[in-house]
């Protein structure tokens, strides 16, 4: 008999200020078959291909004792669209054990994960938001995916990139999360961030893997959780964060995203060396971000008529009021 559950997700609110982590009821309908399976819902904020979406990630789960309970391989060729989600059913053997560790493994076509939620066989719900990627110094971008906070207000989390082809320094291909560390404690709907919030980025809480994704048929090196032990989890260190990312072959040269969401800031995006994605416009801030050159330009307005970016024509306007067309073929506008 299926059980109807409500998934509680941890979000770092107030722009990741140290303080309170809010519990968010993200999914209000999530059917979990009793005992023998768990379900992982992955919400996608963006993907790294032009039209079909990114590869559906692979999922592996373990229990607290380090016993692998189930695995669903990366589904190359099957795509998930930006702004949507995919439910991945993970058969568990033995049944009825709690899958406290979950690994999300990206495919050849990377995706930017805005959230994932995990419904256990016993009805327990755990989850994670893409905000953690930015906090932990991984590759990130804004998302246009709403989640609902406990107080009823809506919030758009960041998304964290996983997957992609080739050995790219610092690029995350998979992540393993100990979900109980991202969930409520006691009867309240919140808990305090540890004095060192980076502890949520390493040790037993999170492990990030940068190993290259190889073509099908090749043997892939065992990751931290490929040869699994609790000792390896508890001694895992947060990877060294580089000053900049040599990104995958740029898929975004013809794409621009414009957002009306007040918390989306072009200056913050451009100045963060771990951000990756299309050129960006924040209408609230009134600023254009060139993600390749890491350069910001004010939007044209009645008060600013030159040395600015014109959203309507997608052109730069110089001091002589001449327009230089940018040539975007894919224009995305978020409300």
Tally of residues, the chain: 335
pLDDT confidence of residue 91? 94
- Return d(Cα 58, Cα 70) in angstroms, integer: 11
Cα–Cα distance, 311 to 325 (Å, whole number): 11
Q: Distances in Å between the alpha carbon of 326 and those of 101, 155, 207, 279, 305? A: 45, 31, 39, 11, 17
pLDDT at residue 197, as a whole number:
63
- Predicted local distance difference test score (pLDDT) of residue 78: 85
Helix, strand, coil share (%) of the chain residues, nearest 5: 5, 40, 55
Query: Are 290 and 270 contacting, i.e. CB atoms less than 8 angstroms apart?
Result: yes
Give residue 69's pLDDT.
Answer: 96
pLDDT in the model for residue 56: 92
pLDDT for 179 equals 85
Q: What is the pTM of this model?
A: 0.80
The distance from CA 3 to its chain's CA centroid, rounded to whole angstroms, is 27
No. of helices (H) and no. of strands (E), the chain: 3, 28
Rounded mean pLDDT for each run of 10 residues along the chain, 335 residues in total: 39 39 46 75 74 80 94 86 88 92 89 88 84 88 82 82 66 86 47 60 76 38 33 32 43 89 96 93 98 96 96 95 92 91
Q: What is the pLDDT of residue 84?
A: 86
Q: Are 36 and 102 in contact (CB under 8 A)?
A: no
Output the pLDDT for position 266.
98
Task: Specify the pLDDT at position 242.
Answer: 35
State the pLDDT at residue 5: 35
């Amino acid at each position: 008999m299926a059980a109807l559950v409500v998934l509680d997700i941890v979000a770092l609110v107030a722009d990741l200020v140290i303080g309170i982590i809010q519990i968010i009821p993200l999914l209000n309908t999530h059917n979990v078959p009793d005992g023998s399976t768990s379900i992982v819902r992955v919400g996608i904020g963006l993907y790294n291909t032009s039209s079909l979406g990114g590869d559906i990630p692979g999922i592996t789960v373990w229990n607290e004792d380090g016993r692998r309970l189930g695995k669903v391989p990366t589904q190359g060729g099957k795509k998930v669209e930006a702004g949507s989600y995919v439910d991945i059913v993970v058969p568990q053997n033995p049944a009825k054990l709690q899958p406290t560790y979950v690994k999300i493994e990206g495919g050849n076509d990377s995706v930017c994960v805005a959230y994932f939620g995990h419904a256990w066989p016993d009805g327990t719900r755990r989850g994670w938001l893409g905000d953690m990627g930015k906090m932990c110094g991984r590759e990130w971008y804004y998302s246009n995916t709403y989640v609902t906070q406990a107080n009823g207000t809506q919030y758009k989390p960041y998304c964290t990139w996983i997957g992609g082809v080739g050995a790219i320094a610092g690029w995350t291909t998979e992540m393993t999360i100990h979900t109980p560390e991202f969930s409520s404690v006691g009867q309240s709907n919140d808990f305090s961030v540890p004095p060192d919030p980076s502890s949520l980025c390493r040790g037993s809480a999170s492990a990030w893997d940068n190993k290259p994704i190889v073509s099908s048929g090749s043997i892939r090196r065992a990751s931290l959780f490929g040869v699994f032990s609790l000792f390896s989890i508890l001694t895992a260190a947060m990877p060294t964060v580089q000053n900049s990312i040599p990104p995958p072959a740029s898929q975004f040269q013809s794409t621009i995203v414009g957002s009306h969401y007040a918390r989306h800031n072009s200056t913050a995006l451009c100045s963060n060396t771990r951000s990756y994605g299309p050129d960006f416009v924040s209408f609230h801030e009134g600023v254009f971000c060139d993600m390749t050159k890491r350069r910001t330009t004010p939007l044209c307005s009645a008060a600013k008529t030159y040395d600015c970016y014109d959203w309507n024509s997608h052109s730069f306007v110089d001091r002589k009021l001449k327009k230089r067309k940018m040539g975007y073929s894919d224009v995305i506008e978020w409300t």
